[in-house]
Amino acid sequence: MPRKLGQHFLVRQAILERIADAACEGGTPQVIEIGPGRGALTRHLLSRAGELHAIELDDSLASYLELEFRDDPRFHLHRGDVLQIDLAQWDSATIVGNLPYYITSPIVERFLSLDDRFPRAVFLVQKEVADRLRASPGSRDYGFLSVRTQLYCEVELILKVPPSSFRPAPKVDSAVVRLKRRTDVPENVNSIVQFASRCFVQKRKTLRNNLRYFYDQRLIDSLPEAGLRAEQIPIHQLIELHAKLEEKQERLARD
């Protein structure tokens, strides 16, 4: 089987069961599966969920799946690129996938941009990405990806997955994470995300250096945190900083 399109198929049944359990815990009427491949995870999801929408880009795999699940009316196959398909067309679903690693970030981004009809996602990703998604301030892995994800979701590590669980084995370790959408996402989250991206422009530089192109220098200098790096600052403090700077900048523009 060619390794194009991130095609590493999970073969450990115990791991497939754990992923399906994590996705369908508490019951889920509808699941969207990204990259079902040969349907290894699909089977476990169908035995726990109501309807299942599977999105597969590879035509030959899609044809195989159509045949394999032709007797199950709850299985719906969608041929195409997950990044081109409007996930919001489905009502209230859990999103699941052993993801093609080359597009992990855009897939996570798409999940974050959905609304609370999509309360959780369970993704098998590269371990390094899982570490970044759930990192705490002050740790090596804490960066813009951690902040952006944690603004929208709680991130939970479900299990680590070694290369030997796949055929063919990938070169890297993997991990399953569950993203649970927060009910308290700030209304101005887009503006906060933009602010966070500015704070992390150059990870090793201080806020004073990173923010000077966007705010009046006097405002930045007045911050007790100006000499810190963004990687040292917890999310709630970044939110407060953003509010403070925006308000002061506005006042300055008015006066």
How near is the Cβ of 18 to ligand SAM at its closest, in Å?
A: 12
In the numeric block, the tokens 């081109």 are attached to: 84
The continuous run of DSSP H or E covering 158 comes out as strand 153-161
Stretch that binds ligand SAM, among 35-43, 151-159, 212-220, 225-233 (CB under 6 A): 35-43
Stretch that binds ligand SAM, among 1-9, 173-181, 212-220, 230-238 (CB under 6 A): 1-9
SS3 179: strand
Q: Is 119 in the site for ligand SAM (CB under 6 A)?
A: no
Residue, CB closest to ligand SAM? 35
How near is the Cβ of 130 to ligand SAM at its closest, in Å?
A: 15
Binding map of ligand SAM across residues 48-77, x = CB under 6 A, - = no contact: -------xxxx--x----------------
By CB under 6 A, name the one of 65, 87, 100, 149 that touches ligand SAM: 100
Q: Which is nearer to ligand SAM, 103 or 121 (CB)?
A: 103
How near is the Cβ of 135 to ligand SAM at its closest, in Å?
A: 23
Q: Is 103 in the site for ligand SAM (CB under 6 A)?
A: yes
Q: Which is nearer to ligand SAM, 117 or 167 (CB)?
A: 167
133 CB neighbour count, 10 Å cutoff: 24
- 200 CB-near residues (< 8 Å, 6+ apart): 143, 144, 147, 210, 230, 231
Size of the site for ligand SAM (CB under 6 A): 23
106 CB neighbour count, 10 Å cutoff: 11
Phi-psi region of 151 (alpha: psi -120 to 50; beta: other; left: phi over 0): alpha
Distance CA 135, CA 128 (A): 10
- 20 CB-near residues (< 8 Å, 6+ apart): 41, 44, 45, 47, 48, 96
By CB under 6 A, name the one of 15, 32, 41, 65 that touches ligand SAM: 41
Enter the DSSP assignment of 136.
P
Stretch that binds ligand SAM, among 33-41, 152-160, 218-226, 247-255 (CB under 6 A): 33-41
Using alpha carbons, select from 138, 135, 161 the residue that is nearest to residue 146.
Answer: 135
What does the binding site for ligand SAM look like in residue numbers (CB under 6 A)?
5-10, 34-37, 40-41, 55-58, 61, 81-83, 98, 100, 103
